[in-house]
Amino acid sequence: MANVGLQFQASAGDADPQTRPLLLLGQLHHLHRVPWSHVRGKLQPRVTEELWQAALSTLNPNPTDSCPLYLNYATVAALPSRVSRHNSPSAAHFLTRLVRTCLPPGTHRCILMVCERADAFASACALARAFPLFTHRSGASRRMEKKTVTVEFFLVGQDNGPVEVSTLQCLANATEGVRLAARIVDTPCNEMNTDTFLEEIKKVGKDVGITPTIIRDEELKTRGFGGIYGVGKAAVHPPALAILSHTPDGATQTIAWVGKGIVYDTGGLSIKGKTSMPGMKRDCGGAAAILGAFRAAVKQGFKDNLHAVFCLAENSVGPNATRPDDIHLLYSGKTVEINNTDAEGRLVLADGVSYACKDLGADIILDMATLTGAQSIATGKYHAAVLTNSAEWEAACVKAGRKCGDLVHPLVYCPELHFSEFTSAVADMKNSVADRDNSPSSCAGLFIASHIGFDWPGVWVHVDIAAPVHAGERATGFGVALLLALFGRASEDPLLNLVSPLGCEVDAQEEDSERDSKRRRLV
């Protein structure tokens, strides 16, 4: 899949499936609404109208189903007909799986995606997850032939007109962001170290006409970034704080996205075991998602000030490593007694959100991180955990997740009961909880919030993506779609405004969509 180019077109055109294999995909009641005249040119002369109708009649998705139409050159596949209220109406996770298992082989292939307009964004991002970019398989390096997958959307239901060029461009930018984030997360630390990650940031900056600000190594220490410096100072490749700033004319507010970019997490001197350390190349998933989303957001005409803040470090072991019992002074001015060097993500993010508050003057600060193993216990493998000081934004995150396919579920926000877990006799706080049975994912997020203050008047949102950042051994690019959907109201793009839960037109559209979709959801 690494050499596959993904293209979105208003019309993929007609072709014999033997020369261009085809996958037709959608919910069954949507597939039944596709006229034969629309698919005839993509299936003939191999598939007749009678065979097409017969295939549809045999599909019985439970939760999915598929049927070959002509050998392994053409397949029709059905998504679940109904989903629960905590799932995305797009059935995005099933969509990715069906593409991986049902898309016929070939150099030039086509996917006809049948869905409602409201599900097009989530469906496109789910498609992108099926085509990861990173591989080091020796056979892949010998295959120089570039493969392409052309995606055409056939929209049904209300607002079912043709897909506009602007929408296709939005889908292309979003899916490029998803695949970029997944590639960074899939790349091992012997290649994706802090130096390499900075090069990725510079490439995105060059692509959108922005020069990043970079604070690195000993300068971090002298400027007071004790969290980032303390975590990364033992590594061969020094830690860094990098910022990409988009400041358009006419901006009315300032938003900061702060990403945890731990390129590898050994646990430090509180070292991880042989079974828990593999996979820790993924600990930069928050920063990777923010990089992919920032690129797409700027390209889609983001109207407000947007700062992407990357907290980069390798949590390594060495003579200069932070020890348990060490005390660090963080950028907030607060001191932290280290009682667990494996609770390092909150330290780098504390510096990042404090910088966003003090130096960038952000009104809204969102940090995204693969922060706690407990997240998968709290909200599962598919739903990221959200912790925020705003009930409105908590609800918005959940709605945005359902609209874009990056699912989210709330954690308990109660600092007056939980923050005492960090009590220290010799510093302002410890970095790890006293009782690991007391909502550890919530507590980890509260540690970050404490460095801007629980009485800070702005909006703070913390998104823990530890589990959904990967599916099996592959990265998902999780977080890119969520950020674009959540902040879609700050974009001029109509598709992002459609999926944004905070957009001015959303309420009426959402009510219409709910009424139109009752048949396919479990309440």
> Which active-site residues does the annotation give?
272, 346
The count of other CB atoms within 10 Å of the CB of residue 188 is: 12
Contacts 24+ apart (CB under 8 A), 211-216: 212/242, 212/243, 212/244, 213/242, 213/243, 213/245, 214/240, 214/241, 214/242, 214/243, 215/240, 215/241, 215/242, 216/240, 216/241
Q: What share of the chain is helix, strand, coil (3-state, %, to 5)?
A: 40, 20, 40
The count of other CB atoms within 10 Å of the CB of residue 514 is: 12
Q: Is the peptide bond before 105 cis (omega within 30 degrees of 0)?
A: no
Is 489 within 8 Å of 500 (Cβ atoms)?
yes
> Facing residues of 149 across strands?
6, 109
Q: Nearest Cα to 384, choosing from 396, 375, 372?
A: 375
- What Å distances lie between residue 412 and 386, 418, 421, CA to CA? 9, 10, 15
> Facing residues of 417 across strands?
none
264 exposure class (CB count in 10 Å sphere: 0-12, 13-18, 19+)? buried
Is 303 within 8 Å of 350 (Cβ atoms)?
no
| 35-66 per-residue burial string, b: 16 or more CB within 10 A, e: under 16 | eeeebeebbeebbeeeebeebbeebebeebbb
Q: What stretches of 136-193 show up as alpha helix (H) in DSSP?
A: 138-142, 165-186
With a CB cutoff of 8 Å and minimum separation 6, the contacts of 409 are 86, 379, 380, 383, 384, 385, 386, 398, 401
Question: What is the residue type of 344?
Answer: E
